[in-house]
A and B are shown apart, each in its own frame.
Chain A
Amino acid sequence: MKLSEHAEEILEAMWIAIEEEGAAFYDPARMQLPEDDAACRELTAKSLVELRHGMLYFRQEGREEGKKTIRRHRLAERLMMDVFNIKGDEGDDKACQFEHLLNEGVDTKLCTMLNHPATCPHGKPIPPGDCCIEARQQGDLGVVPLTEFRSGQEGEIAYIQTDDSKKMQKLMAMGVLPGNRIILVQSFPSYIFRVGFSEFAIDTALAREIFVRKIER
């Protein structure tokens, strides 16, 4: 379904208020929408939402559409942050513009490329798409940051993701090289991992930058 950008933004705001904050409806005044808003009309005309006493309610189709929209938005945020390294307000801003391009299967491709992330950079959940469910069923455990490992879990280092080349070299000097076996020994209060016969302690920030491939045993 092709919606206007403005309509998509309304759906997102509704999703957050209704699905995540538990409200029954969404007050269009929160977005400073005029009473007779074109995007609102577009949504009601497509039977996605219902306008009762000036408040917006989801219809079944609208809820689905809202989920997809919020998913695209948060995937766009991940892309800005993880791949393009655009952080903060600028990243949010760019994500807002970018999300509208993620139609017609582009979102699935992006999601697969980002390895089916479960949360956005702000820690909010990304509703899983069909591709995520499929990947999980196929047992494609994929590549995760070291922070996702359980203590005692063993894996193979896939890659290091950092924009700080000194940090990268430090990690490589410690034996954190793609292809090496790694065992997470402990995750609290600091991360301890073992490579070969050496043990290293690192903080959460560094552990997030080491990506490991899970090994099924």
Chain B
Amino acid sequence: MSASAVTPDTPQSLRRVALVGNPNVGKSVLFNALTGSYVTVSNYPGTSVEVSRGNATIADEAWQVIDTPGMYAVHTITEEERVAREILLNEKPDVVLHVLDARNLERMLAMTIQLIEAGLPVVLVVNIMDEAERMGLSFDLSLLQQRLGIPVIAAATARKRGIEEIKTAIAGLGTSCGLPISYSRLLERDIAEVSRLLLGSYVLSRRAMALLLLQGDEEVSGLAAQQEGERYPALAEKVREIAFERRESFHLDLSMERKEIVTRLVRGVISLPDKRRETWGSRLSTLAVQPLTGIPLLLLTLYFGLYKFVGDFGAGTLVDFLEGELFEKLFNPWITNLLTGWIPWWWLQELLVGEYGIITLGLRYAVGIILPIVTTFFIFFSILEDAGYLPRLALLVDRGFKWFGLSGRSVIPMVLGFGCSTMATMVTRTLETVRERVIATLLLALAIPCSAQLGVILALLARTPGGLLVWIACMTLLFVLVGVLAGKLLPGEAPMFYMELPPMRLPQLSNVLTKTYTRMQWYFLEILPLFVLASVLMWLGKITGGMEKLVNAMTPLMQGIGLPKEAAIAFIFGFFRRDYGAAGLYDLQSKGLLDGRQLTVAAVTLTLFIPCVAQFLMMLKERGWKVSLAIFVFVSLLAFGSGYLLNQLLVTTRLLG
């Protein structure tokens, strides 16, 4: 999200509060509740994980609120967790808000004690109380507060419960840092021996530093090496010595001791119901994860969500209205008249309101065609996300995806790819291995049409149902073929799959709208300039005659796959945005220049063809130029190769007349 990159440097006077916790505990909802809807999303410097920052006024003071990626423990494993901890280490927030899920209080408290032990100013937010209570759990949080020595607040942020209390706690947090936590004598001795050698100054307590060093945390080792200088070898030696004594069991021992501490902490704090209560969410979840009911449910979701809502409503009704009625009939004639009367120069008229004008073409495509399709898709996707459906989808397809060298986790970028492949390419960074990321990027570039493209193609081929079937068959075949080949040929280990399944819940309208809005905002900042650029280039091409030459140059290629030379324009459009190219085909079809066979071949080739410029730039950013270039060449060859073969096949078999 380069457009709105924000540096972490903020004025010293601004106080900061960081939200940390496991994934899926409602951090982002709390973030939105604290900051209002004002969000700046930024890349964290040096990495590609996003961190949201926003401003809030708490007790008449200005605060910056930082929402961090989910983390399971202070000892970090994944890229996201590292970024979350970086914020704690580098930005020294004045308050650390640990958000956890009340239903899993016992499991998640392990991180609270790590934060307290690190000497951070912690406030504990026990969130999702409403659902916990519905399940029959009850809590004595004042007892927990007394035992932990830090403020503990009950909240249900999605229901706006507890927000005021959280604000009060943030504003009123003193310097007390929680009660001391002690381990077994053996572990305490190890900690003491290591922390004795830590003489530099650290953000985290020496105790926490010692434990992280003993866990073999590379980043923390680096930090210690830097701070201790020539004293470091002695420290490293000590750590090695203890690590050797305790061998493999250190992590386990530590986890078990923490578990014990937590068990003592929660004694009398949680009362469980006699019997596990079935909620409608858990029943729906059961239906969603069993293949026998899950697959029909998936098909239903796709049919109503993608086909009916995005396809019919977004790409049909809304586009017809915005593009057909508003732009073609009202806005374009009006603005054309106005500007041609007003501007004497022909070239400027052309640039603004001509055939490829910024306003008449660029704006019309962006607002009239792309906006409604992408908006409806993002609404659909946000609903799936908030309902907790995506992890269930992931587990359903994991076995199949393993054939492509991917884990079920990749289904999330894949589905998102049906919305915007550029955004999906960015999301591939959440995959665990580089190999998975490369395969996912390739498949996104090749066979996943984005919503705008999908909408236009569905509309195009609606009148040739045979063509639609051929198109679907081609995409599926190539997806599977290239996927299996990539899975076989790319070196590296098979991915592992693990995922927490959040409970299924009814999505909240306000949350869905906020998410959609944020995504739309990003989308428009990224693409609108490209639409304008595309229009300008087209215009340049037209007035200099360059376009004519390019079209002529591409004619043999077009003839090779059996298309009229006018189709070249659509392909050139397609380079700027895939959906833009599809929209170009739409124009050709309305002029009656393409028959069923040609339309099908064009749609297949164009869907496979080079990803749009934005996606290519994102690939460069995420995967580096070597991989991106290789994917680019491969995809182009495969697109035209497939177009050629398909055309030959259709001509010989006369399948589509």
Query: A: which residues have CB within 8 A of B?
Result: 160, 165-175, 177-179, 186, 188-190, 192, 195-203, 205-206
A205 and B494 within 8 A (CB): yes
Interface string of B386-400 (1 = CB under 8 A from A): 000001101111111
- How many residue pairs at the A-B interface have CB separations less than 8 Å? 102
A199 and B398 within 8 A (CB): no
| Distance in Å: Cβ of B126 to nearest Cβ of chain A | 13
A177 and B73 within 8 A (CB): no
B289 and A192 within 8 A (CB): yes
Chain B residues with CB below 8 A from A199, complex form: 285, 500-501
Tell me, in angstroms, the Cα distance from A143 to B108 when the chains sit together. Answer: 27
Asked whether B408 is an interface residue with its Cβ less than 8 Å from the other chain, the reply is yes
Interface string of B485-498 (1 = CB under 8 A from A): 00000000010111
A189 and B398 within 8 A (CB): yes
A206 and B497 within 8 A (CB): yes
Within 8 A of A (CB), among B71-118: 72-73, 75, 77, 103-104, 106-107
B73 and A173 within 8 A (CB): yes
B72 and A167 within 8 A (CB): no
Q: Which of A160, A192, A196, A205 contacts B501 (CB 8 A)?
A: A192
Given A168-B251, A192-B395, A201-B395: A206 touches B291 (CB 8 Å cut-off): no
Given A203-B398, A203-B402, A203-B407: A172 touches B497 (CB 8 Å cut-off): no
Asked whether B256 is an interface residue with its Cβ less than 8 Å from the other chain, the reply is yes
Tell me, in angstroms, the Cα distance from A44 to B251 when the chains sit together. Answer: 56
Q: Which of A179, A196, A198, A200 contacts B498 (CB 8 A)?
A: A200
Tell me, in angstroms, the Cα distance from A205 to B135 when the chains sit together. Answer: 32
Q: Which of B77, B137, B259 contacts A169 (CB 8 A)?
A: B77
| Distance in Å: Cβ of A102 to nearest Cβ of chain B | 26
Asked whether B252 is an interface residue with its Cβ less than 8 Å from the other chain, the reply is yes
Q: A179-B256, A192-B395 are in contact. List 4 more A-B contacts (CB 8 A).
A: A189-B398, A190-B399, A197-B137, A198-B103
Asked whether B499 is an interface residue with its Cβ less than 8 Å from the other chain, the reply is yes
Chain B residues with CB below 8 A from A197, complex form: 103-104, 132, 135, 137
Asked whether B255 is an interface residue with its Cβ less than 8 Å from the other chain, the reply is yes
B107 and A196 within 8 A (CB): yes
Query: B: which residues have CB within 8 A of A?
Result: 72-73, 75, 77, 103-104, 106-107, 132, 135, 137, 216, 248, 251-252, 255-256, 259, 285, 289-291, 391-392, 394-400, 402, 407-408, 494, 496-501
Q: Which of A173, A186, A196 contacts B72 (CB 8 A)?
A: A173
B290 to chain A: closest residue by CB: A186
27 A-B residue pairings within 8 Å (CB atoms): A165-B216, A167-B496, A169-B77, A170-B77, A170-B498, A172-B255, A174-B498, A175-B107, A189-B291, A189-B395, A189-B397, A189-B399, A190-B396, A190-B398, A190-B497, A197-B132, A199-B285, A201-B289, A201-B391, A201-B395, A201-B398, A201-B497, A201-B501, A202-B498, A203-B398, A203-B399, A205-B496
Tell me, in angstroms, the Cα distance from A102 to B510 when the chains sit together. Answer: 68
B407 and A165 within 8 A (CB): no
Interface of B is mostly: helix
A198 to chain B: closest residue by CB: B104
Given A168-B251, A189-B291: A202 touches B497 (CB 8 Å cut-off): yes
Chain B residues with CB below 8 A from A201, complex form: 289, 391-392, 394-395, 398, 408, 497-499, 501
Tell me, in angstroms, the Cα distance from A197 to B566 when the chains sit together. Answer: 61
Tell me, in angstroms, the Cα distance from A4 to B20 when the chains sit together. Answer: 65
Chain A residues with CB below 8 A from B251, complex form: 165, 168-169, 172
Chain B residues with CB below 8 A from A206, complex form: 496-498
Chain B residues with CB below 8 A from A165, complex form: 216, 248, 251
Given A189-B291, A201-B498, A206-B498: A177 touches B104 (CB 8 Å cut-off): no
Leading 7 A-B pairs by shortest Cβ distance = A173-B72, A201-B395, A197-B103, A190-B395, A203-B497, A199-B501, A175-B107
Chain A residues with CB below 8 A from B75, complex form: 169
Tell me, in angstroms, the Cα distance from A175 to B105 when the chains sit together. Answer: 11
Tell me, in angstroms, the Cα distance from A201 to B285 when the chains sit together. Answer: 12
Chain B residues with CB below 8 A from A166, complex form: 77
| Distance in Å: Cβ of A168 to nearest Cβ of chain B | 6
| Distance in Å: Cβ of B240 to nearest Cβ of chain A | 16
Given A186-B290, A190-B399, A192-B289: A177 touches B77 (CB 8 Å cut-off): no
B399 and A198 within 8 A (CB): no
B103 and A190 within 8 A (CB): no
| Distance in Å: Cβ of A88 to nearest Cβ of chain B | 14
Tell me, in angstroms, the Cα distance from A100 to B442 when the chains sit together. Answer: 51
B295 to chain A: closest residue by CB: A189
Tell me, in angstroms, the Cα distance from A1 to B307 when the chains sit together. Answer: 73
Chain B residues with CB below 8 A from A173, complex form: 72-73
Tell me, in angstroms, the Cα distance from A167 to B433 when the chains sit together. Answer: 13
B107 to chain A: closest residue by CB: A175
| Distance in Å: Cβ of B24 to nearest Cβ of chain A | 10
| Distance in Å: Cβ of B608 to nearest Cβ of chain A | 29
A188 and B103 within 8 A (CB): no
| Distance in Å: Cβ of A178 to nearest Cβ of chain B | 7
Chain B residues with CB below 8 A from A175, complex form: 104, 107
A200 and B501 within 8 A (CB): yes
B289 and A178 within 8 A (CB): no
Tell me, in angstroms, the Cα distance from A15 to B232 when the chains sit together. Answer: 61
B394 to chain A: closest residue by CB: A201
Chain B residues with CB below 8 A from A200, complex form: 498-501
Interface-centre pick from A169, A179, A200, A202 (highest chain B CB count, 10 A): A169
Chain A residues with CB below 8 A from B77, complex form: 166, 169-170
B252 and A178 within 8 A (CB): yes
Chain A residues with CB below 8 A from B494, complex form: 205
A177 and B399 within 8 A (CB): no
| Distance in Å: Cβ of A200 to nearest Cβ of chain B | 5
Chain A residues with CB below 8 A from B104, complex form: 175, 196-198
A204 to chain B: closest residue by CB: B399
Chain A residues with CB below 8 A from B216, complex form: 165
A186 and B289 within 8 A (CB): yes
B499 to chain A: closest residue by CB: A201
Chain B residues with CB below 8 A from A189, complex form: 291, 395-400
Interface-centre pick from B75, B135, B251 (highest chain A CB count, 10 A): B251
Tell me, in angstroms, the Cα distance from A196 to B132 when the chains sit together. Answer: 12
Tell me, in angstroms, the Cα distance from A203 to B409 when the chains sit together. Answer: 11
Chain B residues with CB below 8 A from A168, complex form: 251-252
Given A173-B73, A201-B497: A195 touches B107 (CB 8 Å cut-off): yes
Tell me, in angstroms, the Cα distance from A160 to B290 when the chains sit together. Answer: 27
B400 to chain A: closest residue by CB: A189
Q: Which of B252, B285, B407, B500 contacts A174 (CB 8 A)?
A: B500
| Distance in Å: Cβ of A100 to nearest Cβ of chain B | 30
A164 to chain B: closest residue by CB: B496
| Distance in Å: Cβ of B519 to nearest Cβ of chain A | 26
| Distance in Å: Cβ of A81 to nearest Cβ of chain B | 18
Chain B residues with CB below 8 A from A170, complex form: 72, 77, 498
Tell me, in angstroms, the Cα distance from A116 to B331 when the chains sit together. Answer: 80
| Distance in Å: Cβ of B138 to nearest Cβ of chain A | 14
| Distance in Å: Cβ of B409 to nearest Cβ of chain A | 10
| Distance in Å: Cβ of B570 to nearest Cβ of chain A | 40
Chain A residues with CB below 8 A from B132, complex form: 197
B256 and A177 within 8 A (CB): yes
| Distance in Å: Cβ of A87 to nearest Cβ of chain B | 13
Tell me, in angstroms, the Cα distance from A101 to B309 when the chains sit together. Answer: 69
B256 and A178 within 8 A (CB): yes
Chain B residues with CB below 8 A from A171, complex form: 498
Tell me, in angstroms, the Cα distance from A199 to B402 when the chains sit together. Answer: 22
Tell me, in angstroms, the Cα distance from A161 to B473 when the chains sit together. Answer: 43
| Distance in Å: Cβ of A175 to nearest Cβ of chain B | 4
Tell me, in angstroms, the Cα distance from A61 to B583 when the chains sit together. Answer: 81
Chain A residues with CB below 8 A from B290, complex form: 186
